[in-house]
């Protein structure tokens, strides 16, 4: 992988994966951003044929000299170039990638000056996360049907009750589930292979039990059964993330909830919102449940509804009529 990169860029990507412990998906995102950036730099500095299609500009020859030649002005030119087709969050991600790359190159003494040292990250417009309300959650669960109903219902139930990521769900193994009296737990592997424990409530236990019965009966004659994985495809292989997304999209459509901006990841938003608004979960507890490193990340899930704002003001101890 990354054979189309120069040795210097490849070394950085390997550093992210092996030393920093970044997930393969994260490293791949860095790779795409760096590739995009140096394609622009080569075009900007006249180091490639201007008639070459942007996607075909090679970065195999990106040398230390070219990396050193990049200035803060070049980087702002790059942001101007991508600004018309990218959201502020995407530009901020690209900026963060460049800062990490150049900081690493400076730390290993490959360059003597870091052009991103005074780089200002663009402000990201904060928006409230989209989530299903309680009625829509019940609507979604009640509409799940089909030959794999037990599996699909179990997946949706875990998403809505545990707030797990898609990658965490597909990575669950049977031995990650621990069922014992008053201590029913599930081991999840999050970003960077960080492990955390979530607890299974009655709804999760019931859905898991129904699915495991279905799984035992349905796959008993499967020739190539993945015996480790919890969730399986029709053929008995570990279910993949894209297949789960298709299943969730289909469930949303059956529930009459398609075209409303809902997705697999929005079920995670929903779980966090339900815990915070209806169960009164403390934000730091929610941070642990969701597996966030920073509390600030959790706060996007803890938006306060208008009804809560109204209730807070109504219940103010100073809410009394003045005497005339």
Q: Is 308 in a helix, a strand, or coil?
A: helix
Catalytic residue flag (residue 276): no
Q: Is 40 in a helix, a strand, or coil?
A: helix
Which one of the listed residues 191, 196, 218, 238 is annotated catalytic?
A: 191
CA distance 252 to 254: 5
Give the HSE-up count for residue 110: Cα atoms under 13 Å, Cβ half-sphere.
Answer: 19
Q: How many CB atoms lie within 10 A of CB 291?
A: 20
CA distance 31 to 111: 20
Catalytic residue flag (residue 10): no
Task: Please name which of 277, 278, 276, 272 lies closest in space to residue 290, comparing C-alpha atoms.
Answer: 272
Catalytic residue flag (residue 130): no
Which token pair is 202? 């009655």
Which token pair is 175? 């031995």
Which one of the listed residues 42, 189, 268, 269 is annotated catalytic?
A: 268
Task: Please name which of 204, 170, 203, 208 lies closest in space to residue 189, comparing C-alpha atoms.
Answer: 170
Which one of the listed residues 165, 189, 215, 269 is annotated catalytic?
A: 165
Task: Please name which of 197, 174, 168, 124 lies closest in space to residue 25, comparing C-alpha atoms.
Answer: 168
Catalytic residue flag (residue 189): no
DSSP one-letter code for 229: B
Task: Please name which of 50, 165, 167, 40 lies closest in space to residue 91, comparing C-alpha atoms.
Answer: 40
Catalytic residue flag (residue 165): yes
Long-range contacts of 245-249 (CB under 8 A, 24+ apart): 245/166, 247/152, 247/155, 248/155, 248/156, 248/159
CA distance 239 to 171: 9
Catalytic residue flag (residue 191): yes
Question: What are the catalytic residues?
Answer: 165, 191, 265, 268, 292, 301
């Amino acid at each position: 992988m990354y054979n189309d990169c120069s040795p210097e860029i490849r070394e950085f990507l390997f550093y992210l994966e092996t030393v920093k412990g970044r997930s393969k998906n994260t490293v791949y995102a860095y790779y795409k951003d760096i590739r995009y950036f140096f394609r622009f730099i080569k075009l900007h500095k006249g180091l490639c044929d201007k008639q070459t299609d942007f996607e075909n500009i090679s970065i195999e020859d990106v040398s230390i000299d070219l990396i050193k030649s990049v200035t803060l002005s070049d980087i702002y030119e790059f942001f101007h170039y991508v600004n018309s087709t990218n959201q502020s969050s995407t530009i901020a991600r690209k900026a963060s990638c460049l800062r990490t790359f150049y900081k690493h190159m400076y730390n290993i003494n490959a360059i003597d000056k870091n052009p991103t040292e005074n780089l200002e990250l663009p402000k990201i417009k904060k928006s409230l996360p989209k989530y299903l309300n309680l009625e829509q959650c019940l609507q979604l669960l009640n509409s799940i049907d089909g030959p794999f109903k037990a599996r699909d219902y179990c997946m949706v139930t875990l998403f809505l009750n545990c707030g797990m990521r898609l990658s965490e769900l597909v990575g669950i193994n049977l031995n990650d589930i621990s069922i014992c009296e008053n201590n029913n737990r599930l081991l999840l592997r999050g970003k960077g292979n960080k492990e955390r424990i979530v607890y299974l409530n009655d709804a999760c236990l019931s859905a898991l039990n129904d699915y495991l019965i279905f799984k035992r009966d349905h796959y008993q004659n499967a020739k190539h059964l993945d015996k480790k994985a919890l969730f399986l495809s029709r053929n008995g292989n570990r279910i993949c993330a894209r297949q789960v997304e298709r299943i969730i999209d289909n469930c949303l459509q059956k529930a009459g909830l398609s075209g409303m901006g809902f997705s697999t990841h929005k079920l995670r938003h929903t779980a966090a919102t339900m815990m915070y608004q209806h169960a009164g979960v403390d934000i730091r507890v929610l941070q642990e449940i969701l597996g966030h490193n920073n509390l600030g990340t959790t706060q996007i899930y803890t938006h306060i509804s208008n009804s809560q704002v109204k209730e807070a003001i109504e219940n103010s101890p100073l809410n009394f009529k003045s005497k005339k």
